[in-house]
Amino acid sequence: MIAKLIVGKSFGGCVRYLLEREQSKVLDSAGVRDYGTKTIIADLNAQRKMRPQLGNAVGHTVLSWSNEDREKLTVEKMEQHAREYMEKMGIKNTQYVTVLHSDKEHPHLHIVYNRVDNDGKTMGNFNHWHKSRKICREMTECYGYHLGKGKAKVNRQALRGNDKLRYAIHDALKGSIYGFLGPNGSGKTTTIRLLLGLLPNLKNNIQLFGQNLKDNRIEILSKIGALIEQPSLYDHLSGFDNLEITRKVRSISKSRVDETLKIVGLKSAAQKKVKEYSLGMKQRLGLAVALLSEPELLILDEPVNGLDPNGIIEIRELLLKLNKENGTTIFLSSHLLSEIEKIVTHLGVLSKGKLVFQGKYNDVKELQKKSAIIHIQTSNNEKSFDVLSNLYVPVFSENLQIQLPYQSKEQIADVCRLLVGNNIDIFRMQIENSNLEEIFLKITGN
């Protein structure tokens, strides 16, 4: 059993979408005249007027079960499960209508409720997504249903339009480590603060997980863990207690604290006061706070800033472990190019507020190959220069060695044949690739 949570503005659009189709049936309702689409919409809109300043008054939840559970599920059971789910979610003292759909392979129903309750108060939705996930898992285990198998089992061939595009992006980036590079002042931290809603986005054009950030801020941020430079921790408390505070605020399962401490390698230091932690340990605890909610996306801004070499290695190995073993997608901002190239799978380069390069790290390696140079030292460099000039464009370096733009391994063999065929001894032939720093400077125009 899984739940998809949606908030919206139009009861009319939502109710018509659910009821104006052949394979739909109202199972249950409260506070509305459920004998017609128009009367349901009218009753819901009448109550929302008690709170006119609430734009997103529509609460819409889709409850779905695995097709393997179809034989266990009767219409009556699905109706009971919907009521139990609403009770546990705190959806009460308000209007609602439950609609059964039979137009898909898997059993599912829709719950539409008014976020303006019967007393004219707003029904909050803070942390609803974490709470819903926990409730669905508990109910699934309680009734012996199959656990949802997630995006990996979705039939890509059946997808159309925006859904197809969203899953294509998901498949491309899921489990990747995205390196976000840029000179100081290029806008890296500003971009991250915009993505996390910490700065106002005047153009309202930021989308994450296929949704607009401004309209779906809580749902989107519930899927993200973040660490911006140095973590904010309570030094006088233990590492365990720091996580426990966050866990209680976000209504996360208690067992998750020990799980997260184990992931970041701080289980043995859990009861030690944070003021006794090394800088690397504090950074790992900051990562634990970010990982506590099992985020789909982990955003890190300069996570190794100020760490000694041992601390840098610890964080690097931890990120690789998270990515490999947990499948966590990581968005990593850093100016330490030597560290970035050791772990990233994708790369974006920002310069003066503009993204001047984006692609897989393998694309950068191709750029490295294109800018590679062959260094040649022979028994007679001047004669070698003349011989090679017939087919290539050699140049002399500052130390009077010959340099050629690298093309292929076949080119190396050809150069050797030419020189040896002209009785020239080869003392040294070496290919030198541009490192990431040199590529970075070329891209940013510095």
- Domain residue ranges of the chain, discontinuous segments joined by +: 2-149, 170-359, 371-444
Over residues 404-432, the pLDDT tens digits come to: 888 888 999 999 999 999 999 999 998 88
Phi/psi-derived region of residue 157, left when phi > 0, alpha when psi is between -120 and 50, beta in every other case: alpha
**Please, which pLDDT band fits residue 444 given cuts at 50, 70 and 90?**
low
Q: What is the DSSP letter of 276?
A: G
Q: Once rounded to an integer, what is the mean pLDDT over residues 338-358?
A: 82
Rounded Cα gap, residues 329 and 175, in angstroms: 4
Mean pLDDT of 288-304: 88
Determine the 3-state secondary structure of 3 from DSSP.
strand
Most confident of the following: 101-115, 182-196, 237-251, 337-351 = 237-251
Mean pLDDT of 143-169: 60
CA distance 384 to 386: 5
pLDDT digits (tens, 9 = 90+) for 23-52: 888 999 999 998 889 999 999 999 999 999
Q: Does domain 371-444 bear CATH number 3.40.50?
A: no
Interatomic CA distance for residues 432 and 445, integer angstroms: 21
Q: pLDDT, tens digit, for every residue of 357-379? A: 777 877 777 766 667 888 999 99
CATH of 2-149, one of 3.30.930.30, 3.30.460.80, 3.40.50.300, 3.40.50.620: 3.30.930.30
| 195 and 206 Cβ atoms separated by less than 8 Å | yes
Which H or E run contains 430?
strand 426-432
Q: What angle, 0 to 180 degrees and rounded to 10, lies between the N-to-C axes of helices 381-389 and 409-421? A: 120
Q: Do domains 2-149 and 371-444 have the same CATH topology?
A: no
Global pTM? 0.57
What are 170-199's pLDDT values in tens digits? 555 567 899 888 877 888 888 899 989 888
- Compute the distance between CA of residue 319 and CA of residue 330 in angstroms, rounded to an integer: 8
Burial of residue 285, with CB atoms counted within 10 A of its CB: 0-12 exposed, 13-18 middle, 19 or more buried: buried
Question: How far is it, in rounded angstroms, from Cα 40 to Cα 30?
Answer: 10
What is the structure's pLDDT at 117? 95
pLDDT bin (cut points 50, 70, 90) of residue 87 is: very high
CA contacts within 13 A on the Cβ side of 190: 13
| pLDDT averaged over every residue in the chain | 85
Judge whether residue 165 has pLDDT over 60.
Answer: no
Domain 170-359 carries which CATH code? 3.40.50.300
